[in-house]
């Protein structure tokens, strides 16, 4: 009977360690994704200030430089901007991309929609 209890305790111990590692990895990835988002937005700001490139082109370039889920957000948004406004494309891209960000992080990032304005013609090649 003692042997069974020890096996169960050992199983609980190992399972707890595994769950802790999985959860910590998710938060470590979240920190990296937030850093990548900050870098991507800095690139975007610089390109807007100093070049006359269209926003979809800038977003595709950001995707090339940031090859993770944050880069994927920019890639999806650039593709969707061909059919809809930049703000709507941004929201849909964030909703479609699987990230490790918290709901609060995503809500803050969605508020960048106001920055992109609703006028897609201003930034597109149309």
> Quick check: helix, strand or coil at residue 73?
helix
Angle among Cα 126, 73, 49 to the nearest 5 degrees reads 55
Q: How far apart are alpha carbons 117 and 84 in whole angstroms?
A: 12
Q: Whole-prediction pTM value? A: 0.77
Average pLDDT over the chain reads 88
Q: Is the pLDDT assigned to residue 21 strictly greater than 70?
A: yes
Q: Where are the domains of the chain?
A: 33-123
Give the mean model confidence (pLDDT) for residues 101-121. Answer: 77
Give the mean model confidence (pLDDT) for residues 89-102. Answer: 92
Q: Is the pLDDT assigned to residue 5 strictly greater than 60?
A: yes
Quick check: 68 and 33 in contact, CB under 8 A? yes
Q: Is the pLDDT assigned to residue 124 strictly greater than 80?
A: no
Q: How far apart are alpha carbons 57 and 82 in whole angstroms?
A: 11
Give the mean model confidence (pLDDT) for residues 77-87. Answer: 90
Give the rounded distance of the alpha carbon of 57 from its chain centre.
18
């Amino acid at each position: 009977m003692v042997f069974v209890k020890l096996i169960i305790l050992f199983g609980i111990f190992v399972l707890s360690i595994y769950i802790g590692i999985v959860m910590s990895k998710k938060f470590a990835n979240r920190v990296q994704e937030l850093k990548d988002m900050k870098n991507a937005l800095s690139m975007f700001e610089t390109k807007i200030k100093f070049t006359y490139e269209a926003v979809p082109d800038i977003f595709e370039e950001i995707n090339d430089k940031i090859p993770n889920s944050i880069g994927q957000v920019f890639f999806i948004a650039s593709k969707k901007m061909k059919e809809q406004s930049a703000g709507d494309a941004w929201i849909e891209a964030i909703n479609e991309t699987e990230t490790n960000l918290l709901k609060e992080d995503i809500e803050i990032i969605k508020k960048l929609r106001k920055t992109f304005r609703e006028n897609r013609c201003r930034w597109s090649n149309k």
